[in-house]
Structure 1
């Protein structure tokens, strides 16, 4: 038993492997058989039947026989050989000769692949032949129709083709021999050779029929439209020169001469049926001619502008110079009373220098206008630049003049503000002294004194000659803030004093019955007499609120109404 069981296991494993290999080879043989059937089922015979409907002569007949013989050989000779090989492979598998079976399977695979490629090649050639016949028939009719239409157009409108008529006619004449050759090849069954002629005719037709469609319009541009535009521009150019326009810088006449030379070359190229470069250049020439019209129109507009604005801009320039001189005198007067920065003081001087420079440019331009030897478009640009510069300097002077005028306004405004602040400070002091107070706290006295000093500084600033309004306004702003703050503090202090008195009066009703409250009110009165009003308000409010919560709100309402 020790050796029998392992032996049985080994034998079982070997048998399993054998049966696995056997199953694998049977599957491969079945696959190859199916592949063979696929080749046999390819529609070669059906396609060969279609060929019989064609003209069975010459090339077609020769190709048909070759395909049929190859098909017959494959089906009657080669396929039976594959059947024999498949049978041999099965026998080798049954005998468990798997190595030999593998060799036979490889040979079958190689033959099937070879036969399949031959079938594909035959079907492709069949499709090309049958398709060529159909495409040839359709396309040749289209080409003939286009050919007839082209000849009809050429005969009816021969004058429209100018020097291109004869070359086109000669190229059209070459179509007929090719049509005849096509018919002969088709009649003799040489469809593939006929296909070559159709392709060639189609290529030639596309080029030639395009020429027939495009040359008349191109010749119209070259012979009529462009020459007409050139003539019109020359006349306009001459008339404008007679009206004293300076046009030499545009070089229009020279460019028109070159265009006319090009037109002669274009006719020669059209006679050679070379129209691609001509079409491109014609588009460029039309754009160039349009630019000539624009340039001449620009000169007309320029002249109109110069005539309508030259004198006006000159007057504007003189007015600006006169205004600058006036502003400079006003600035000298202002500087005696007010201090201004050197940059501001230099504004009138700089403006005048720039205006005098502009006057020189204007005088030079005036000479050009009189001599009529400059383009009006360029003079228009110079005039516009002059006008813009003058207007900018005018605006700069107006701003400077406004700043000078504002100095007097700022001074008057500062003096009025100062007087108002003096009155407010005086009212504050009078209000404090009239109030029934034990005295004014030191802090309030110090703030009143500081406010008075601020007023004094501003008064001294306003007495300076020349006045520095920047310093005046800065110190005035400080003084105004100081006085407003002390006035607000004084009102707040008086309101607190009034409130203290009302609280103590309200709390007197509880003094006899509440010793603690009486003592707190005494402390409040002591603080009041010592001018510690905030502390007195705190003591009194705490005492009354402790005895009668919410009483402070009623007392505050009464105190505010009295204030």
Structure 2
């Protein structure tokens, strides 16, 4: 029983699926039927008929016949065939032959798409043809008066074009012939070719208009203006030579002749209608002519500069030479008294060499001014360089004179410093003699003796001939160090001695109470009398600090107050 029910359910399911698939086929059939009816309802023939406004001959007639034939085939053959295919699909679906129905519908869809594409293509070609005709007609309407205006302008300004007028006349004739060709093509229905012709004509017209518009200026430049400028430049060049200007090195005559020949060839090219590369050539010649004028002007200015500044240069060289000669005399005198450093002698010899070279340069400039081999521009450069050298040499000369003057100044300062150091040494000795200490330690006297010897070395260095200030300065520095050391050690020794006395006096109050302190103080007094002031201070300070910590600092503070008051 269950088996029978299952079979029944499967049969029912198959029936339902069949019905669904058949419904789908019917839907597609309805869709394609509607599509077919839509195509049939379109007024395609009237849209194709728009072309009848044109001249139906030649290429246009051929296209129209082809479109008409294709449309007729669609309406009489392909669309009725589609009706039959749709009926076959429905019949196959009724018999549940869905595979056949699907195949038939796919073929039908392809045919419909092909029909749509062909219709779209035909209508687009119609639109393109109509648009092309309208555009071409508009362009031709605008071009025709422009050609007439161009011929009129050429006729009214013939003198501006010279022999090139004939060339431009022929070019305008060619434009008119192209325009006539356009009308012929239109009359025969060849609208696409007519459109190409009118497009080419428009480009040719624009190019010719530009060429005719620009030609007079270039022609005038090549025939009149540039040759006139070159003639004036050549005449000016000759005049400058006559007036003594040195312009041969510029070699302008040859260049001017070459340009004039080039311009003659250019005029011939222009009169034959060839303008290629001429504008660039004209610009190049024009810029070169301006450059030539600038170079000639530069030469003229240079000549005036050289002639006006040469006397000043000669006077400056002579003045520098004379002042350096005085310096040379002074150096020879000073060399007998002073020793010159190597660096100073190198500077002196370099100055001598450069000033001699400058004098030679002056002679060369003087000779060059008498000959015509060197341009005034080059002479000016050399003269300006000479003035720079003079300024530099004057500065170096002044610096050297200051250095040799400092030799005497350094000697005077060295003697004054020696006198000051002797005074310091004398004051130190006097301070020692006036002190109330038992005696002066031997090392202090040795240091004083060493300082005295170093002073003597300074004296000997100052007495040498020639005087070597480097040696004097070295001796001064050594002596200064020795004297400063004497003063420092003397002041320290006297301070220690005085502080030792103060500590011993302060500690005496404890002497009777502390036998050990009394013994240490006795030892300190012995060292004090033996001039061992540092050891004496150390011994006394240690003894009193053991009894009264901090006593040494109070004694030192008191001593500083006393020293301040006494000073």
For residues 527 and 108 of structure 1, what CA distance do their matches in structure 2 show? Answer: 146
For residues 513 and 114 of structure 1, what CA distance do their matches in structure 2 show? Answer: 146
What do residues 176-228 of structure 1 show as CA deviations (whole Å, max 9, x unaligned)?
Answer: 23223323434555331121112211221232111112111112322332233
Moved more, 469-478 or 359-368: 359-368
Report the counterpart of residue 54 of structure 2 in structure 1: 55
Check 1:546–1:304 CA distance in 2 against 1; reply closer, same or farther (3 A cut).
same
What do residues 43-66 of structure 1 show as CA deviations (whole Å, max 9, x unaligned)?
Answer: 996995695485262334543453
Check 1:343–1:551 CA distance in 2 against 1; reply closer, same or farther (3 A cut).
closer
Higher-Rg structure is 2
Q: Contact 1:438–1:528 (CA<8 Å) still a contact in 2?
A: no
What do residues 472-524 of structure 1 show as CA deviations (whole Å, max 9, x unaligned)?
Answer: 2234234434544554565566667667777777x669859997997899599
5 Å matches for 1:67-82? Answer: 67=67, 69-70=69-70
Q: Contact 1:520–1:539 (CA<8 Å) still a contact in 2?
A: no
For residues 543 and 37 of structure 1, what CA distance do their matches in structure 2 show? Answer: 133
TM-score (norm 1): 0.75
For residues 71 and 523 of structure 2, what CA distance do their matches in structure 1 show? Answer: 135
Check 1:222–1:559 CA distance in 2 against 1; reply closer, same or farther (3 A cut).
farther
Moved more, 157-166 or 521-530: 521-530
What do residues 237-265 of structure 1 show as CA deviations (whole Å, max 9, x unaligned)?
Answer: 23222212232222222222222212211
Q: Contact 1:299–1:376 (CA<8 Å) still a contact in 2?
A: yes
Runs of 5+ unmatched residues, structure 1: 1-7, 9-14
Report the counterpart of residue 216 of structure 1 in structure 2: 216
State yes or no: 1:561 paired with 2:564. yes
Q: Give the SS at the match of 1:174.
A: helix
For residues 149 and 443 of structure 1, what CA distance do their matches in structure 2 show? Answer: 125
Moved more, 318-327 or 460-469: 318-327
TM-score (norm 2): 0.75
Q: CA deviation at 1:301?
A: 1.2
For residues 443 and 49 of structure 2, what CA distance do their matches in structure 1 show? Answer: 126
Q: Give the SS at the match of 1:196.
A: helix
Report the counterpart of residue 12 of structure 1 in structure 2: none
What do residues 141-189 of structure 1 show as CA deviations (whole Å, max 9, x unaligned)?
Answer: 5544543443343233222222322211221122223223323434555
For residues 146 and 391 of structure 1, what CA distance do their matches in structure 2 show? Answer: 73
What do residues 349-386 of structure 1 show as CA deviations (whole Å, max 9, x unaligned)?
Answer: 55445544544443344344334554222222333334
What do residues 416-455 of structure 1 show as CA deviations (whole Å, max 9, x unaligned)?
Answer: 2222233233334434554454555666666555544443
What do residues 20-79 of structure 1 show as CA deviations (whole Å, max 9, x unaligned)?
Answer: xx99xx99x99xx99x979x99x9969956954852623345434534654665688668
Q: Contact 1:523–1:536 (CA<8 Å) still a contact in 2?
A: no
Report the counterpart of residue 531 of structure 1 in structure 2: 533
Q: CA deviation at 1:132?
A: 2.6
For residues 120 and 422 of structure 2, what CA distance do their matches in structure 1 show? Answer: 118
For residues 112 and 460 of structure 1, what CA distance do their matches in structure 2 show? Answer: 131
Moved more, 429-438 or 467-476: 429-438
Report the counterpart of residue 174 of structure 2 in structure 1: 174
For residues 381 and 122 of structure 1, what CA distance do their matches in structure 2 show? Answer: 84
Q: CA deviation at 1:467?
A: 1.9
Q: Give the SS at the match of 1:532.
A: helix
5 Å matches for 1:129-140? Answer: 129-140=129-140
Q: Give the SS at the match of 1:421.
A: helix
Q: Contact 1:44–1:119 (CA<8 Å) still a contact in 2?
A: no
For residues 512 and 323 of structure 2, what CA distance do their matches in structure 1 show? Answer: 89
Report the counterpart of residue 345 of structure 2 in structure 1: 345
Report the counterpart of residue 205 of structure 2 in structure 1: 205
Report the counterpart of residue 402 of structure 1 in structure 2: 402
What do residues 273-308 of structure 1 show as CA deviations (whole Å, max 9, x unaligned)?
Answer: 222321111111111111211121122112112211
Q: CA deviation at 1:86?
A: 13
Report the counterpart of residue 276 of structure 1 in structure 2: 276
RMSD over equivalenced CA pairs, Å: 5.1
What do residues 381-420 of structure 1 show as CA deviations (whole Å, max 9, x unaligned)?
Answer: 3333344444444444443333222222222222222222
5 Å matches for 1:68-467? Answer: 69-70=69-70, 84=85, 125-126=125-126, 128-144=128-144, 146-186=146-186, 189-341=189-341, 344-345=344-345, 348=348, 351-372=351-372, 374-437=374-437, 448=448, 450-467=450-467
Moved more, 426-435 or 414-423: 426-435
Q: Give the SS at the match of 2:163.
A: helix
Check 1:272–1:524 CA distance in 2 against 1; reply closer, same or farther (3 A cut).
farther
For residues 72 and 443 of structure 1, what CA distance do their matches in structure 2 show? Answer: 144
Runs of 5+ unmatched residues, structure 2: 1-5, 7-12
